[in-house]
Amino acid sequence: MDKNTIIGLFLLFALIIGYSIYISPSKEQIAEQQRIRDSIAAVQQAELEEQMAAEAMATAKMDSLVQEVPAEVDSVQQLKKMQSLYGFFTQAAAENESSQDIIVENDKYIFTIDKKGGQISSVTLKDVYTYDSLPVVLFEKGNNDNRFGFTFFSNYIEVHTYDLNFQAYQLESENIKVSGNDSVEISMRLYPDDVTEENQSYIEFLYTVRGNDYLTALAVHFVNMEKYINATQTQMELTWQEQLIQQEKNRKDEMTASTVYYSDTKDVDNLKEAPDRGDSTASTTSLKWISFKQLFFTSSLIADDKFASAVLVTALPEKADVRALKNMKAKLTMPFEGKNPSMSMNFYFGPNKYRQLKSYDIKMEKQIQLGGVMVAWVNRWIVIPIFNWLESFGINYGIIILILTIIIKGVLTPVTYRNYISSAKMRAVKPEIDEIAQRYPKQEDAMKKQQATMELYKRFGIKPMAGCLPMLIQFPILVAMFRFFPSSYELRQQSFLWAKDLSTYDAIVSWNTHIPLISGFYGNHVSLFTLLMTLATIGYTYMNNKMMAPTGVDSQQQKMMKWMMYLMPIMFLGIFNNYSAGLSYYYLLVNLITFLQMGLFRIFIKEDKIRQQLLMAQKTAQPVKKSKWQQRMEEMMKQQQAMAAQQRGAAGLPPTKRRHNTSETPRKKK
């Protein structure tokens, strides 16, 4: 990594920072946005507190009803209390201990339909396991934080379908299996108390389960419910909430990645991602889908049309649970108009696999972190297609990463070659650079020395900034890989050499004792791929420093630059130790292949011949016209020299001698 590379990095960072500052809102806009967010948060908090108070009151009332009743209390009074809570749905609210859940299995997962609420109460993916060899359960029954159902008003009584018992309609078995291209329908119905054969009124959850598909369809029908739902209600509120469960070894990374994503098909957004802070809210309108996303898995709700509005919340679990990650909640509204209204949607329970999510063509794949606008295109249009193509051959994923690296480095070889030639040309004129350094040994002549060096490069046709272009081209690829490997589902639990899982760190040594500074920066384990990558980077830095082209800067600055280049691999050692082993393995391969390329270039490119070519080209070259930048530099130098002369004159000192043409080497007397 020579000076040009460092300058290129600094220029790129400056460009990114400048662009961020340019697009950032003004103080007035920030204040207005904060005021709006505070207002929304206050309204949401009030709604949540009101709902929690209502739920607590209903629970307390229900608990009082199920307690042992004194003999003197009349059963009629109990019935009245139940009716005051549930109205027309008092019978559906009574617990049915003999009721069994419905178990549904297809080729992708097994899920449970709970007769209380008619809702999917648990989902277990098939042939997929956690880091400690347990089945991957996206959410499980028995957790009060998991809920799905509608809320409506019946004679001014607030009714929640998830509190009421549904009945399976015309179901022959409570254990259902479907596979391949087959599908099955499961009807769960909620009946009011006064329903008769002549008066068929019910709310139906009709599930359609396909054999080889991650999607499960849900159609909700309100049949002849005009008598039981207030006529003034034009929207139906849908509550969906889950508690996400830890699946991966690196809990911090999974906590960071776990959040709510949502989209109107034109744009995709998400609540804040943070490992130690879950509380986050958002209000939005006209959504196509909502996802409760983890690092490698997601539960999504996709509307056939759109959800009219949504309030989305993430929060840390209130109860201590070693496997609980975050609580996700969505309060959605859907139009409720006309006679016998219906609503249709689909559940997606499955992996965050780019190709799978993209197949639905509603931008669900954008919840996979592939980097910002500047680098995501590299992953979408280059890395992922190549990776998928190599994956189709069924070879080990470590070999796939090796081939992918060779392909990328091979494509970038012309760029690397150009960078090497630029550095070789600068090294070829080292005698002239050293002569300029002897001519301007003083610190105050640094600008003159730099200008003379640039004029020298101009005469020899050397473009120092050409070395920055290859780095600018390669930088998006490096960043794209930094985002691709940790979020690639394909690498999950794929072993290579000593690494058992390329999607997380490959610890060869670990300990539980907290060591100050080390545990915080480095961690409590040693990742071998990261260690090898660091050693290779230090080796490459050493080789690059020996080949570094002269720059015209003083030796002290060069020493500082070299130490900075050695410091960066040490910093990477702490950063990458907790990252994906596949990422460290990729960067290790990049360094090794770069070593090989540099060795081949040094064998086939002779720098003495390059010097001869430069000297010949200088003799036959036409006078070089000064650029505007050089003209400005000379003008600045003249102004500085004039100011220095005035200061010396004011101090009564004699004027300093100076050469009229600083670009020429002093001629020796014959």
Q: Supply the pLDDT for residue 660.
A: 44
pLDDT band at 203 (very low <50, low <70, confident <90, very high): very high
pLDDT band at 28 (very low <50, low <70, confident <90, very high): low
Max mean pLDDT among 140-149, 346-355, 473-482, 589-598 falls in 346-355
**Cα 114 to Cα 136: distance, rounded to the nearest angstrom:** 19
**Cα 367 to Cα 11: distance, rounded to the nearest angstrom:** 30
> Pick the residue with more confidence: 656 or 184?
184
> Pick the residue with more confidence: 619 or 9?
619
Q: Which of 167-181, 427-441, 640-654 has the lowest mean pLDDT?
A: 640-654
**Cα 577 to Cα 107: distance, rounded to the nearest angstrom:** 37
Q: Supply the pLDDT for residue 619.
A: 63
Instruction: Provide mean pLDDT across the span 37-65.
Output: 55
pLDDT band at 574 (very low <50, low <70, confident <90, very high): confident
Q: Supply the pLDDT for residue 299.
A: 95
| 3-state secondary structure labels for all residues of 537-573 | HHHHHHHHHHCCCCCCCCHHHHHHHHHHHHHHHHHHH
- Answering whether pTM is above 0.85, one says no
Whether residue 476 contacts residue 408, with contact meaning beta carbons closer than 8 Å, is answered with: no
pLDDT band at 172 (very low <50, low <70, confident <90, very high): confident
Q: Identify the DSSP state of 381.
A: I
Percent of the chain scoring above 70 in pLDDT = 74
Write out the E strands in 352-499: none
**Cα 272 to Cα 281: distance, rounded to the nearest angstrom:** 9
Whether residue 146 contacts residue 243, with contact meaning beta carbons closer than 8 Å, is answered with: yes
CATH, range 76-368: 2.70.98.90
Instruction: Provide mean pLDDT across the span 526-531.
Output: 91
- The one-letter code for the residue type at 520 is G
Instruction: Provide mean pLDDT across the span 541-550.
Output: 68
pLDDT tens digits for range 301-319: 999 999 999 999 998 887 7
Q: Supply the pLDDT for residue 664.
A: 43
Instruction: Provide mean pLDDT across the span 361-379.
Output: 87
Q: Specify the pairing of strand 215-223 against strand 342-351.
A: antiparallel
Alpha carbon 409 to its chain's center: 25
**Cα 166 to Cα 172: distance, rounded to the nearest angstrom:** 16
Sheet holding 175-177, edge to edge: 135-139, 119-129, 109-114, 102-105, 175-177
Q: Supply the pLDDT for residue 511.
A: 85
Whether residue 230 contacts residue 155, with contact meaning beta carbons closer than 8 Å, is answered with: yes
pLDDT band at 668 (very low <50, low <70, confident <90, very high): very low
Max mean pLDDT among 183-192, 245-254, 425-434, 540-549 falls in 183-192
> Pick the residue with more confidence: 471 or 41?
471
Q: Which of 205-214, 337-346, 445-454, 571-580 has the lowest mean pLDDT?
A: 445-454
Q: Supply the pLDDT for residue 47.
A: 57
Residue extent(s) of CATH 2.70.98.90 domains in the chain: 76-368
Percent of the chain scoring above 90 in pLDDT = 31
Q: Supply the pLDDT for residue 563.
A: 72
For residue 188, give both structure tokens: 């769960």
* Residue 36 clears pLDDT 80, i.e. is over it: no
**Cα 565 to Cα 559: distance, rounded to the nearest angstrom:** 10
pLDDT tens digits for range 456-501: 777 777 776 666 666 777 788 888 888 888 889 999 999 999 999 9
For residue 392, give both structure tokens: 């189709």
